[in-house]
Amino acid sequence: MWVSLYLTIALLENIRWYPIFEYYQPHSHTSSHTCMGPSNILCWAPKSVPAASSSLSAPAHPLWKGLASVPGGTRQSPINIRWRDSVYDPRLKSLQVSYAATSCLHVWNTGYFFQVEFDDSTEGSGISGGPLENHYRLKQFHFHWGAANAWGSEHTVDDRAYPAELHLVHWNSVKYQNYKEAIMGENGVAVIGVFLQLGAHHEGLQKLVEVLPEIKHKVSCPSCLLPTCRDYWTYPGSLTTPPLTESVTWIIQKQPIEVAPNQLAAFRTLLFSALGEEEQMMVNNNRPVQPLMNREIRSSFQAVEEGSEVGSNL
């Protein structure tokens, strides 16, 4: 079932709204790309991001300046996942996913990535099971991608990156009243991460690709963007965008989905810049890998090191 989707862009003279940073005031955007807000919270990345398995280095996002993590943070995301270090946990259950296309609201350009919003006022779309104790409602999904196919994902596997990464963001509707409360609280958020690798044309993604240059659109239910194999890694982490709160249970799918090169290229047609500003391609919107510190990465499957296969289609 397809539902209508409207591209929402809020631009008032020189003001750009960043709803992904929901509880901050609108920021007057200038061509100097000054860092938004308090430096210990919103300045979240260094001037380059690691490439896949080469010495290449991706250009920085214009908003990324200053510290790479929250001072004192002990469970920041993303991380590098090592096959040999992940611990099989037979107690991890299968992840239960239920997404309804009717709960999809709209897609829009946040100035950092494009984001698909969902009605989270009911239990219509959400997840449970896996490492989760409660039901989590789907709030939105978005992607991170690079300027080239050698990098773009936020998480890496055995130090190798994928061209892009999908994040499906959910919040704990049993423990919290709304998403704003959940992102500030313990076990408030659960994010499913799915790697994208180059390969066959992805019909489900194409419906979303067609949205990007238009105003009225249609998009598919996000279930079609999940891999057929539901094996996953899980670890306690943080949001990868401000406010970087350490409230996230990450569920990283082992199997990537394949997308055609022209589909990923469509992402790179978007712009960071607002109308009237110098055009800047929307690329390299991925946060660099953060220290694992003392965290344990658990897996729902018995890991066999497959580093030689990860990212093989980059």
Residues 106, 117 contacting (CB under 8 angstroms): yes
CA of 308: how far to CAs of 149, 249, 258, 305, in Å?
Answer: 17, 27, 18, 8
Distance of CA 55 to the CA centre of its chain: 24
**The pLDDT value given to residue 249:** 98
Q: Is residue 116 over pLDDT 80?
A: yes
Whole-number Å distance between alpha carbons of 70 and 126: 29
Residue 109 pLDDT grade (very low, low, confident, very high; cuts 50, 70, 90): confident
Look at strands 80-81 and 156-157 and give their pairing.
parallel
* Domain parsing of the chain, residue ranges: 3-299
pLDDT tier for residue 272 given thresholds of 50, 70 and 90: confident
- What pLDDT, on a 0 to 100 scale, did the predictor assign at position 49? 35
Distance of CA 99 to the CA centre of its chain: 17
Q: What pLDDT is attached to residue 118? A: 94
Cα 295 to Cα 123, 131, 237: the distances in Å are 31, 15, 9
Give dist(CA 160, CA 75) in Å, integer: 21
* Number of Cβ within a 10 Å radius of residue 228: 6
Position with higher pLDDT, 3 vs 244: 244
The 3-state secondary structure of 66-123, one letter per residue? CCCCCCCCCCCCCCEECHHHCEECCCCCCEEEECCHHHEEEEEECCCCEEEEECCCCC
DSSP string, 30-47: -TT-PPPS-HHHH----S
> Residue 164 pairs with which residues in a beta bridge?
145, 196
Which of 184-193, 201-210, 218-227, 288-297 shows the lowest mean pLDDT across its residues? 218-227
pLDDT given at position 62? 52
**CATH match for 3-299 among 3.10.200.10, 3.40.50.10540, 3.40.50.1820, 3.40.50.150:** 3.10.200.10
How far apart CA 128 and CA 123 sit, in angstroms, is: 11
Task: Report whether pLDDT(46) > 50.
Answer: no
Confidence (pLDDT) at 67 = 54
User: What pLDDT was estimated at residue 68?
Assistant: 52
**Percentage with pLDDT > 70 across the chain:** 71
Which amino acid, 12? L
